Amino acid sequence: MSAAFALGFFLVLPKYQEAQMIGAQAEEKIVEIQKRTDYYDALVAIADQLDQCAESYKKIETALPDNPDASALMSFAQAAAMQSGLAVKNISYSQSGSSSSSLPAAGRDSSEKTASLLLREYGVDIGLSGNYESLKNFLQIVEKSSRLIKVKSINLQSKEKDNGENQDMEIAAAPKNDSAGQDDQIIDYEIKLSAHYYE
Amino acid sequence: MINVAPKKQGIFLENMVFYVSLLLLALAVGGFFYARHLAAQESERLAGLSMQMAKMKSEEQKDLEGKIKVARQKLEDFSKIASQRRSAANFFNKFEVLVPEKIYFSQCNLDLEKMSASLSGHSKTFQDVGRQIMLFESADSVLESANLLKSAINDDGIVDFEAGIALKLETVAVEQ
């Protein structure tokens, strides 16, 4: 009888406990698998939603492209100026250096190459010349472009007359009675634009 | 005469204890093998589940995660940048109605990041300049503040002035 109890205590009970412990681990794994399955299903659902909004998403990709494409932006600014009736005096590109890491560090690992984005900004300075209405047209074209372009600053400077004095610069919705009219007033503009892209 | 009854009872009890012990031993041995079988079965199930979990972190899932993270980040960035945009065209549309006749500007520096503008101009009289500043000050739906920084009459009898204005966010807000 003692041998039976000893056998039960030293062999059967530990083995049974071991089986129970493994069973508990298996149950934990089942819960984890369920969680992962739910997570994967959620991922698929989100990916499907993204596919449904592909057109809107494409607009965002146009607004914030994956390369600077500065020449295209400069070309667009030049064309917009000409279309508005402004003369382009100069145009230059500069990397502003400001950048922001798009993804939080926790979301990065070496296996997630597609997810490592770096948002960068560059500037385009453009010197224009023309009347005030043309400037407004230019600004409307730039601000409504599919590429996300920020107008950072504008300097308006009236042109100098032959005698060295500045011409009058009229900023008004309609020409004033005592002036020659806005169309005749040529103003110089220095406009700073900026755009973003992903690296 | 010899009494044999207690001896018989003792043997019976001994036998009973023996058989019960034997039964318990058999149960213990049987229990051991059953527990061993159970542990092996659970181990096998655990190994199967571990393998299933390892398979779940597939390339497809990684690609999906990457695609969604990129999309989410682009949406956030777009929303942030779009909200930071200011419309210079809107500024000029609202500003030009605040400029009375007889006021002419020679320079206007509009800084949309600082939401301010500095203006240099001239007029024939101080009254016109004063009127201009009053118009700026009364346009509290367009301008946050307006300050006359400098005003002086030049050699030609023209009143030159410099003013600074701070813009309200609504003045340069981009229509979405």
What is the reported pLDDT for B175?
A: 74
* Residues A99 and A190 occupy one common structural domain: yes
Express each pLDDT in B159-171 by its tens digit.
999 999 999 999 9
Whole-number Å distance between alpha carbons of B11 and A73: 110
Q: What string of DSSP letters covers A48-77?
A: HHHHHTHHHHHHHHHHS-SS--HHHHHHHH
* Residues A72 and A122 occupy one common structural domain: yes
Going residue by residue through chain A, which has 199 residues, state the pLDDT in tens, using 9 for 90 and above. 677 777 777 888 888 898 899 999 999 999 999 998 999 899 999 999 999 999 989 999 999 999 888 899 999 999 999 999 999 999 999 987 555 545 443 343 434 444 568 899 999 999 999 999 999 999 999 999 999 999 999 999 987 766 666 667 777 655 555 555 555 688 999 999 999 999 8
Which of B36, B77, B99 lies nearest to residue A64, judging by beta carbons? B77
- The domain locations on chain B are 5-82, 88-171
Residue A163 lies inside a defined structural domain of this protein: yes
* DSSP assigned state of A168: P
What is the reported pLDDT for A112?
A: 41
* Residues A188 and A96 occupy one common structural domain: yes
The complex scores an ipTM of 0.75
Count of domains for chain A: 2
Whole-number Å distance between alpha carbons of B14 and B134: 121
* Residues A69 and A43 occupy one common structural domain: no
Closest CA to B122 of B154, B160, B151: B160
Q: Give the relative orientation of helices A54-63 and B59-84 as an angle to the nearest 10 degrees.
A: 60
Which of A1, A112, A173 lies nearest to residue B66, judging by beta carbons? A112
What 3-state class would DSSP assign to B11? helix
* Residues A48 and A126 occupy one common structural domain: no
Q: Please answer yes or no on whether B88 and A11 come within 8 Å at the CB atom.
A: no
* Residues A81 and A41 occupy one common structural domain: no
Q: Please answer yes or no on whether B35 and A40 come within 8 Å at the CB atom.
A: no
What is the reported pLDDT for B6?
A: 61
* DSSP assigned state of B105: E
Q: Please answer yes or no on whether A153 and B53 come within 8 Å at the CB atom.
A: no
Q: Please answer yes or no on whether A1 and B106 come within 8 Å at the CB atom.
A: no
CATH code for the domain of A95: 3.30.70.60
Residue A59 lies inside a defined structural domain of this protein: no
* Residues A148 and A180 occupy one common structural domain: yes
**Residue A44, C-beta contacts closer than 8 angstroms, at least 6 positions apart:** B64
* Residues A43 and A100 occupy one common structural domain: no
* Residues A88 and A47 occupy one common structural domain: no
Q: Please answer yes or no on whether A151 and B24 come within 8 Å at the CB atom.
A: no
**Residue A108, C-beta contacts closer than 8 angstroms, at least 6 positions apart:** A115, A116
Q: Please answer yes or no on whether A16 and B174 come within 8 Å at the CB atom.
A: no
- pTM for the model stands at 0.75
Q: Does domain B88-171 have CATH number 3.40.50.720?
A: no
- CB < 8 Å from A in window 120-149 of B: 121-122
* Residues A44 and A69 occupy one common structural domain: no
Partners of residue A119 in chain B, C-beta under 8 Å? 77
Chain A closest-CA separation from residue B154 CA (Å): 13
What is the reported pLDDT for A137?
A: 95
Closest CA to B127 of B94, B101, B98, B154: B101
**Residue A61, C-beta contacts closer than 8 angstroms, at least 6 positions apart:** B74
- Domain boundary at A29, A52, A75, which? A52
Chain B closest-CA separation from residue A108 CA (Å): 10
Domain that holds residue A32: 2-52
